[in-house]
Amino acid sequence: MGVIYIVVPLALIVVAAAVWAFVWATNRGQFDDLDTPAVRVLTDDEGREKP
Amino acid sequence: MAFADRATLTTGAVARAAVSCTHCGLEVPSGLVDDGATRQFCCTGCRTAYEILHEHGLDQYYRFGERREEAVRPSGRTYEEFDHDAFHALYVRRHPDGTAQVELYLEGVHCASCVWLVERVPLLLPGVGGAELDIRRSLARVVWDPSALPLSRVACMLDSLGYPPHPFRGVKRDEVRRHEDRAMLVRIGVAGAIAGNIMLAAFALYAGWMGGMEHEWQVFFRWLSLLLVTPALLWPGRVFFAGAWAALRTRTLHMDVPIALGLGVGYLQGAVNTMRDAGPIYFDGLALLIFLLLVGRYLQQRGQRAAADGAELLYSLTPSTARVADDTGAVREIPAEALLPGMTLDVRPGETLAADGVVTRGRSQIDAALLTGESRPASAAEGDVVYAGTVNLSAPLRVRVEQAGESSRVAKILQQVEESARRRAPVVETANRMAAWFVGAVLVLAGITFVIWEFRAPGTAVDNAIALLIVTCPCALALSTPLAVSMAIGRAARSGIFIKGGDAVESLARPGVVFLDKTGTITEGRTALVEWVGPAWVKPLVLALETDATHPVAAGFRDAWAGMPAPVVDDVRHVPGGGVTGRVDGHTVSVGSPRFVREHAPSDASVDALLGRLDTARTPVLVAVDGAVVGAAAFGDPVRADAGPAVGALRARGWEVRVLSGDAQAVVDAVGRALDLPRTACLGGASPEEKRRVVERAHGERSVVMVGDGVNDAAAMAAATVGVGVHGGAEACLATADVYLTRPGLDALVDLVRGAERTMHVIRRNLAFSLVYNVIGAGLAMAGRIDPLVAALLMPASSLTVVISSWQARTFGRRN
């Protein structure tokens, strides 16, 4: 059972990484507009690059 | 305006099967149908839009399942003010790499196809670096190279696709809010992550209580929980302590005080118990509570923000610049913010006035629909007062500024809108208050349980206290309302009803007073032939005369008698403000106002008899053939076919229905009679300010609902408990509405009320269930009948029941 002393801190590190990633994404504006990307993804195929 | 466009284009009235426009999908007026062509257009706007898309290989647009069904009506403005230094100084941000960025508010943005168009088409212009649209707020961010391309070109391009742009006025405040929103989201994310992980540790502990666990691991997981909950309290949970501290310093009692107290006491007790290695810890519950409270606050803030956003977008619709003439007659352009009373404005036809003032030179027609809701243009001459936000239609005007900026009438209405939006009672507060009491009660009960069992059977005291804490987890309680509301909002959206906030659902479920705007809400909002008195042989003669006329009355005749063959006309003469006269089949025919026709048929005595038979609330039109009056027609705005049944259904549900309109009292009374409403329930001639006052006075115990479609209704809609915007309403009015009906007619309003009632029923059912569950669970735990493991299994069961109950409920949707 001693493995818990390794696994739990490891899990905490993973959590810390996930929280950091979330904070980073939020500050980059990934969650500013939650409606438009939902409709944009349906149409993102041809012709997006400048002609 | 719509009539005029349609009428100019309709040249021959011959009945055909309906042809739909290639661009917008609406029916093409019969006169515009191009036989043999594969592509048909309902107006030149749609044709231009199609050509732009086709030329650049963007035909993919036409493969969208959901497209904007609205004819493209470019404003024809040049947008030269977009290139001015003053404009750039106010709204444009320069990037270090030489590019510039501007946020534009676009009218007419609705769906996925709009996003596609707005983000792609500007890229066709050399110099545009990117365009991004926020569909919820209709804001487009455009990045371009100012040295390669003037912004007015981009603006014209958007305009020709049917999205007239306006500079967004709230950029600075927007920046502050974005930071607030992000900080809030980060707090929620951190609290959620911590709560989830503490729950894992808690499950290990609960299993340990049951199946036996070595003391070493117990201590480890208790300390782990303490380690995890500390940052949750110090970072996301700090807002509650800060709020409570601020409240205590100002000696007021705020919702944060009991929450902070509960969190603080729970944490300290848990920490002490961890250190002395005995007694329950509350950490999983505390972390979850912080998370849920933050989520609730976030949702509430978003709802309030939607209302404030609406007012700001409304402000963006008023002009951003104005042309000022000085004493020498030279004209220069300045930002609207710099206007001062006493300056002289130069207003060209088609422009929107930037300030309130008095006409000093010129004579023109003014469209004041924004302020008054009156669809007919009013004339303005020297000495007349004109208002900001109204549109100058026909001739250039000079206007001496009396009130500008914040003190103009339209700005005051917008301030009222914002004020009313702020004052609204938020529902989530109630949930927060309940949560605080709930936590307190649970902690007290747990303490009692522990003490009682400590005396009766010391070994089981901790188990029973823990079981109580688990079984009364507030998950189901916290879920019951938001889940039912969000499910209902989703279902409503699928049936064409867009609800912006949960509190609207709550208010609509209780019968109250509903105010209906007349034009466009109860009526169809167009001029139509409602009554005809006269022989049938006159009809083709009238139609022949009216074939080429642009007047709404002419369009009304054509719509009513479509498909009838029209003979050839000679020598047609239009008299503005009077009527039309000409020779048809050898007869002299005159059609027009009673005064005009009497001039052509002077000796006829039957005119008065005919006029007497017409409803006074209508516009009368007479027809004379060879000097004798032979027919009379009444024109009006017809009441929608579904208005009567819808009003009846609302009244049957206990709602008091009233009509509130800017139109003349006689017209409003006529509509009231058609709907079988008492005269006292119909108020006409109401200005936007008066509408707001009437709505405010109606407030009391009952909820007040305002249904409207124009900016003149916006203040009243914001002052009402719930503002409902109807199909085809003005952009600005939709921005302030809590609910927007995309289906035409009042039928959708009845569906809305019925759906709201059903949703509240589901909420009550959920709340009752979770409360009963918790009370029974708490009772059993206190009686020592549940051990922690059974409690841990029962906890998700209650949440699941609430989820299923919300999910299967038929709240909104088609009636069976």
Mutate to test the interface with B, among A1, A19, A46 (most CBs of B within 10 A): A19
Mean pLDDT of chain B: 79
Residues of chain B with C-beta less than 8 angstroms from the C-beta of A5 = 220
Cα gap B376→B519, rounded to integer Å: 12
Test B185 with A26 for CB contact under 8 angstroms. Answer: yes
Contact B745, B640 (CB under 8 A): yes
Q: What is the ipTM of this complex?
A: 0.85
Identify the pLDDT of residue B651: 92
- Taking 90 as the threshold, does the pLDDT of residue B74 lie above it? no
pTM for this prediction: 0.60
Is B439:B740 a contact under the CB 8 Å cutoff?
no
Q: Is residue A14 part of a domain?
A: yes
- Percent of chain B having pLDDT more than 90? 8
pLDDT at res. B178: 84
Q: CA of A39, closest CA in chain B: separation in Å? A: 5
Which of B67, B215, B224, B227 would you mutate first to test chain A, the one with the most A CBs within 10 A? B224
Domain range spanning residue A23? 4-40
B635 contacts: CB under 8 Å, gap ≥ 6: B527, B528, B529, B530, B552, B553, B556, B618, B619, B620, B621
The residue whose two tokens read 């003149």 is B712
Give the model confidence (pLDDT) of B614-669 as tens digits. Answer: 666 677 888 888 878 888 888 878 888 888 899 999 999 999 999 988 777 888 88
> At B535, phi and psi to the nearest 5?
-70, 155
CB burial of B492-526 (b: ≥16 within 10 Å; e: otherwise) equals beebbbebbbbbbbbbbbbbbbbbbbbbbbbbbbb
B181 burial class (0-12, 13-18, 19+ CB within 10 angstroms)? middle
Each residue's pLDDT tens digit, B422-435: 554 444 455 556 66
pLDDT computed for residue B9 by the predictor: 36
Instruction: State whether residue B235 sits within 8 Å of chain A by CB.
Output: no
User: Which two three-digit tokens encode residue B650?
Assistant: 């609302």
Give A-chain residues touching B189 at CB under 8 angstroms. Answer: 19, 22-23, 26
Which residues on A lie below 8 Å from B224 (Cβ)? 8
Residue A48 maps to a domain:
no
Residue A46: inside a domain, yes or no? no
Q: Given the DSSP bridges, would you call strands B497-499 and B739-741 parallel, antiparallel or unpaired?
A: antiparallel
Query: Long-range contacts made by residues B758-762, C-beta under 8 angstroms, separation at least 24?
Result: B758/B488, B758/B809, B758/B810, B758/B811, B758/B812, B759/B484, B759/B485, B759/B488, B759/B505, B759/B509, B759/B809, B759/B811, B759/B812, B760/B505, B760/B506, B760/B509, B761/B809, B762/B484, B762/B488, B762/B805, B762/B806, B762/B809, B762/B811
Q: How confident is the model at residue B290 (pLDDT cuts 50, 70, 90)?
A: confident
Chain B residue at shortest CA distance from A11: B197
- What mean pLDDT do residues B396-408 have? 84
The tokens describing B223, both together, are 């300390």
Supply the pLDDT for residue B414. 67
- What pLDDT is stored for residue B425 in this prediction? 43
Span B15-51, pLDDT tens digits:
445 677 888 777 777 667 777 777 888 777 788 888 8
Q: What is the CA radius of gyration of chain A?
A: 19
**How many Å apart are CA B645 and CA B626, to the nearest integer?**
45
Q: Mean pLDDT across the stretch B572-576?
A: 74
Beta strand B139-144 with B331-335: parallel, antiparallel or unpaired?
unpaired
Name the most confidently modeled range: B114-123, B149-158, B701-710: B149-158
Which pLDDT band holds residue A51 (cuts at 50, 70, 90)?
very low
- The predicted structure's pLDDT at residue B680: 85
Whether residue A10 is contained in a domain is answered as yes
Q: Does pLDDT of A34 surpass 90?
A: no
Per-residue pLDDT, averaged over B560-575, amounts to: 76
Picking from B73-87, B126-140, B214-228, B760-774, which range would have the lowest pLDDT averaged per residue?
A: B73-87
A28 touches chain B (CB under 8 A): no
Share of chain B above pLDDT 70, in %: 82
Residue B2 pLDDT class (50, 70, 90 cuts): very low
State how many domains chain A has: 1
- A50 is a domain residue: no
The answer as to whether A8 is a domain residue is yes
- Determine contact: A27 vs chain B, CB below 8 A: yes
Q: Residue B396 class from Cβ within 10 Å (0-12 exposed, 13-18 middle, 19+ buried)? A: middle
Determine the Cα–Cα distance for residues B783 and B798; give it in Å rounded to an integer. Answer: 20
Q: Comparing C-alpha atoms, which of B429, B562, B743 is closest to residue B10? A: B562
Over the stretch B247-274, which tens digit does the pLDDT of each residue have?
788 776 555 666 677 778 778 878 988 8
In terms of DSSP bridges, do strands B364-367 and B356-361 run parallel, antiparallel, or are they unpaired?
unpaired
How do residues B299-348 score in pLDDT, each as one tens digit? 666 655 665 565 566 566 677 778 888 878 788 877 777 788 888 988 88
pLDDT tens per residue across span B693-721: 898 888 877 889 999 877 678 788 888 88
pLDDT in the model for residue A41: 64
Between CA B298 and CA B192 the distance in angstroms is 13
